[in-house]
């Protein structure tokens, strides 16, 4: 991982949009601890294609529209990757490529790619990436819902860290 990777310039300047706006009445929030805020900001900027909306000494808020979320990063020495994971659900498999490109250009790697893989009782196309603390994110498109009897397949990364 290249910790000195620069921020990538977003394609459009979404930061000029009023940060009070989000498209729905309700928006999900996630707050996680990170060990190195600077590195995490590079990762999440690449993931969301958007800079932090609030950027303080020990805290940063990312408020992208895609997906709509208030992601709060708090720098804390006790940060550790827990189990469970996060994700961004897309509608087109082609769009997964854009995420992969941004992540790799920012100096991070795509951990696993899954094509038409049975997991969570569905069939999906996925790319898995880890933030600098090991929090897992999947960028995915569901191509077959409830079409599988597999909860977590052999090639499925969704429970990594969670089993035994």
Partner 1 sequence: MSIWANAKQTKSIDDSVVNFPTKTRLHIAVNVKNCADLINFYNTLFGCSYHTKREGYVKYDLSEPPLNISLNQVPKNAKSNGVFGIQAKKIKHLEKMEKRLSDAGLRYKAKYIGKELCEININDPEGNIWQLSIFEH
**Interface residue list for partner 1 (CB under 8 A):** 19-20, 22-33, 65-70, 81-95, 120-121, 125, 135, 138, 140-146, 151-152, 158-159, 162-164
* Residue among 26 and 77 whose Cβ is closer to partner 1: 26
* Residue among 35 and 107 whose Cβ is closer to partner 1: 35
Task: Give the alpha-carbon dihedral of 58, 111, 140, 27, to 10 degrees.
Answer: -10
What is the smallest separation between the CB atom of 2 and partner 1, expressed in angstroms? Answer: 26
What is the smallest separation between the CB atom of 138 and partner 1, expressed in angstroms? Answer: 7
What is the smallest separation between the CB atom of 106 and partner 1, expressed in angstroms? Answer: 19
Q: Which pair of tokens denotes residue 46? A: 């690449």
* Residue among 4 and 25 whose Cβ is closer to partner 1: 25
Rounded Cα–Cα distance for residues 117 and 103 (Å): 22
């Amino acid at each position: 991982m290249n910790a000195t990777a620069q921020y990538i310039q977003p394609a459009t300047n979404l930061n000029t949009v009023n940060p009070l706006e989000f498209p729905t009445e309700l928006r999900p929030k996630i707050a996680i601890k990170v060990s190195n805020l600077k590195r995490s900001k590079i990762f999440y900027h690449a993931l969301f294609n958007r800079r932090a909306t609030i950027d303080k000494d020990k805290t940063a808020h990312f408020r992208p529209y895609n997906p709509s979320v208030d992601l709060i990063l708090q720098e804390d020495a006790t940060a550790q990757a827990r189990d469970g994971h996060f994700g961004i659900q897309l509608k087109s498999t082609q769009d997964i490529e854009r995420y992969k490109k941004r992540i790799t250009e920012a100096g991070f790697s795509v951990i696993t790619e899954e094509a038409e893989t049975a997991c969570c009782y569905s069939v999906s196309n996925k790319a898995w990436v880890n933030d600098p603390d090991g929090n897992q994110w999947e960028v995915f498109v569901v191509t077959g819902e409830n079409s599988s009897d597999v909860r977590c397949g052999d090639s499925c990364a969704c429970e990594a860290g969670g089993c035994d």
